[in-house]
Amino acid sequence: MEHVVIIGNGIAGITAARHIRKLSDKKITILSAETEYFFSRTALMYVYMGHMRCQDIEPYESWFWEKNRLELKKAYVERVDTDNKTLFFKEGGSISYDKLIIASGSVTNTFGWEGLDLNGVQGLVNKQDLETLEKNAPNNKACPHAVIIGGGLIGVELAEMLRTRDIKVTMLVREEGFWANVLPLPEAEMISQHIISHGVNLKHLSNLEKIIGDADGNVKAVITKEGEEIPCSIVGITTGVKPNISFLKNSKIETDRGILVNRKLETNIKDVYAIGDCAQQREPIGLRPAIEAVWYTGRMMGEALAQTICGNHFEYNPGNWFNSAKFFDIEYQTYGWVFSEERRKDYEEQFHWKCRSNLRAVTVSYHKETREFLGINTFGIRMRHEVFDRWLNEKRGVEYVIKNLSQANFDPEFFSRYEKEIANEFSSITQLATS
């Protein structure tokens, strides 16, 4: 019986395992150094916030693994010997495989600042980071003040977490609006205001110079490039993530920033595959980045690779881009492509609508000449994935999308509707442009 070994029990590895089991009787072993059972990484924040317990963020009950004959092993893979198809563990021992799937995920990305090794400097990527945070910032007596470096998805989660324990939070953001390297500026500014309204001291256009510690090696303060010294007990590094591939250093598997794979998710070595955050496409797919560190793409790669492993050769061929997040109380969904100023294509035109409450906004992006609908960002209004996926596939025009926007509404019953307001504003702007 063929033995499939999967390194990593995150969403990519587990999805691959589940689908391989659906399609075949292969022996499947899943290795993880992080936790015994699969959990939802995106839900780590809710454990610290007291919304859920650790066991609540595990999507499957413990009997699930045995019932589906998925063998779980808690071990850290230190060395990969592809010649002999063997993995060696840090704890000692080894395991051999017929097919190897690397789904080892991400680690915190840093920029080599001085003081990164001080106690109290941490990221928020894995379960151990959560445990460290619980130790470093149990309450506002032990940790009166935190500084977060970087305005992205993990940064805002960390800010929300710390605010639930009344810890003062200062956030250093390089851009002039929150996550402005991804969001169009009007939206970035709205989210910045919302974060500030939650008591976060959000500093725009602010960069970290170095972190300084006390005599015991604990964090004392950060110093910004702008020359400000901010005292603090912990420093959250949330300047993105990078593939977790250091254990492959001495292997024959070809890597760049991530593990290089082709469209079939195969590495340069036969029978070795990589999926999820740690994989890097040799040729980026469409407008997607070569490394996609997103829950959904990890899941999609897992589904696609399971087919290939089971003899049904398949390329990873993602459909229309989509993503979602929540910034304190404002939900965000995106379908298709809406780019920030720095990444905007020449042909991309954007229409922005913002609710008077400053809690809802919509940006529709479309082609300047053909007026083809390219994508939508929606804040505070839920919209249907299926409808936008269809409209994008049908290459609908922007007027059609605006006119039929109510079909896409996914807010709960009785919620106030804004489609009319959006349509009126759109037509008044386009009339201005044409007259």
Partner 1 sequence: MSTVQRNMSLTGEPPKTINGQQKIASAIGLIGLLILALALFNVDFPNKSVWLTASLTAIGGGTIWFSIAAYSNKHEGIKNDGIYFKSLTSKGFWGWILGISLTLFYVLLYWFPQYLGYVQGGDNKGVVALFDPLSKFLNGGPASQWFLYGTLYTLAILAFGIKFILKYRHNKYEKLRTYSVMFFQLGFAFIIPELMQRLNSETFSLPYYDLKNIWPLNHYNFEQYRVDDFISAGNIGIGLLIFGIASIFIITPILTYKYGKRWYCSWVCGCGGLAETAGDPFRHLSDKTQVAWKVERWVIHSVLVFVVLMTTAVVHSYLGDDTSKYWLTKDVFLISVGVFLTLVFTGVWVFKREEIQKDARIGSIAYFVIIITLIALHFTTGKTLFLFDAETLRSTYGFLIGAVFSGVIGVGFYPIFGSRVWCRFGCPMAAILGFQQRLFSRFRITTNGGQCISCGNCSTYCEMGIDVRAYAQKGENIVRSSCVGCGICSAVCPRGVLKLENGPLEKRINPNEILLGNDLDLMNYVNK
Pairing of strands 272-274, 219-224: unpaired
Q: How far is the CB of 354 from partner 1 (least distance, A)?
A: 17
Pairing of strands 94-96, 86-89: antiparallel
Residue 21 as a binder of partner 1 (CB under 8 A): the answer is no
d(CA 105, CA 42): 13
Pair of tokens at residue 140: 């506002």
Residue 135 as a binder of partner 1 (CB under 8 A): the answer is yes
Taking contact as CB under 8 A, which single stretch among the options 52-60, 93-101, 183-191, 200-208 is the one that binds partner 1? 52-60
Q: How far is the CB of 2 from partner 1 (least distance, A)?
A: 19
Applying CB under 8 A, among 92, 311, 319, 342 the residue interacting with partner 1 is 319
In one-letter notation, the amino acid at residue 358 is: N
Taking contact as CB under 8 A, which single stretch among the options 29-37, 78-86, 301-309, 369-377 is the one that binds partner 1? 301-309
Shorter beta-carbon distance to partner 1: residue 69 or 225: 69
Q: How far is the CB of 309 from partner 1 (least distance, A)?
A: 13
DSSP states of 79-131: EEETTTTEEEETTS-EEE-SEEEE---EEE-----BTTTSBTEE--SSHHHHH
- Taking CB under 8 A as the rule, which mask of x and - marks residues 324-363 in contact with partner 1? xxx-xx-x-x------------------------------
Sheet holding 322-327, edge to edge: 322-327, 330-336, 373-379, 361-367, 348-354
Restricting to residues 145-174, name those near partner 1 by CB under 8 A: 164-166
Q: How many residues bind partner 1 (CB under 8 A)?
A: 66
d(CA 129, CA 217): 19
Q: How far is the CB of 27 from partner 1 (least distance, A)?
A: 22
Residue 287 as a binder of partner 1 (CB under 8 A): the answer is no
Shorter beta-carbon distance to partner 1: residue 94 or 119: 119
Assign residue 93 a region: left if phi > 0, alpha if psi is -120 to 50, beta otherwise? left
- Taking CB under 8 A as the rule, which mask of x and - marks residues 402-421 in contact with partner 1? --------xxxxxxx-----
d(CA 435, CA 430): 9
Shorter beta-carbon distance to partner 1: residue 61 or 394: 61
- Taking CB under 8 A as the rule, which mask of x and - marks residues 69-108 in contact with partner 1? ----------------------------------------
Q: How far is the CB of 89 from partner 1 (least distance, A)?
A: 25
Q: How far is the CB of 431 from partner 1 (least distance, A)?
A: 32
Measure CA of the first residue to CA of the last residue in the chain; give whole Å: 71
In one-letter notation, the amino acid at residue 31 is: L
Restricting to residues 378-407, name those near partner 1 by CB under 8 A: 382-386, 389
- What angle, rounded to 10 degrees, do the helices at 153-163 and 185-197 form? 20
Restricting to residues 228-257, name those near partner 1 by CB under 8 A: none
Q: At CA 285, angle to CA 185 and CA 296, rounded to 5?
A: 70
DSSP states of 395-415: T-BHHHHHHTGGGGB-PPTT-
Largest CA distance in the chain: 75
Q: At CA 117, angle to CA 114 and CA 120, rounded to 5?
A: 110
Residue with tokens 């080599």: 112
* Binding positions for partner 1, rule: CB under 8 A: 11, 19, 40, 42-43, 46-54, 56-59, 61, 130-131, 134-135, 138-139, 141-142, 164-166, 197-198, 295-297, 299-300, 303-304, 307, 312, 314, 317-319, 322, 324-326, 328-329, 331, 333, 382-386, 389, 410-416
